[in-house]
Structure 1
Amino acid sequence: RAELAGAPSALDLPTDRPRPATPSHRGAQLTEALDTPTVTRLTEAAQQRGTTLFSVLQSVLAAVLSRRSGQGDVVIGVPVANRSRV
C-alpha cells in the first residue's frame, strides 16, 4: 500500500467522449493475435532479460498507456490465483 500511495486513480486517456461522473465498470474485450515472428522476438527479449513473456507484454502495455496518457505513473493490477501472501 505504501508503494501505491499517491498513484493516479485513473489514466487520462484521450477518448471520443467524456468520462462519466459515476463509473459503470462495464468494459469491452478486444481479441487480437500476434504473428509468430513478433511472438518469437518478444520471447527472445524475455529470455535475454531473465523474465517471462507476460512481464514483457505487461511492460509494453504500461509504456503504451504512459505515452498515450502523458502520465509517468501507470498502475496495472494483475489478479493472481493461489497467492499465499496478502
Structure 2
Amino acid sequence: MNLSAYEDTETAFKNWNKWNTYLLAFHYMDAKKLRLLDIQKIAEKYGIKASVIKTRRVQYLQYKKKLNFDYIKYHSKTA
C-alpha cells in the first residue's frame, strides 16, 4: 500500500463525488498502489459497504474495457 495513494483516496471519499472518487480509487488499484481491501476499508469509514465497492470495481472494469478508458487522460481533461 502506498501511503500517499491511501490518503488521496480517503480525502476523495471524505469529499464524496461518486464517480470521481471511484475513478481515483480504482486508478490507484490499477497502478498497484492500493488493494481492493484498502479501498473497502476507507469506504466503510464513510458508510459505504465493501460489497458496493466490489460491485463498482466490476462496473469500472467493464467500462474501462468497453471504452478503452484511461484515468490520466480523463483527469487531465477535467482538472
* TM-score between both structures, scaled by the size of structure 2: 0.35
1 or 2 for the larger relative contact order (CA 8 Å, sep ≥6)? Answer: 1
Determine which structure has more spread, i.e. the larger CA radius of gyration: 1
* TM-score between both structures, scaled by the size of structure 1: 0.33
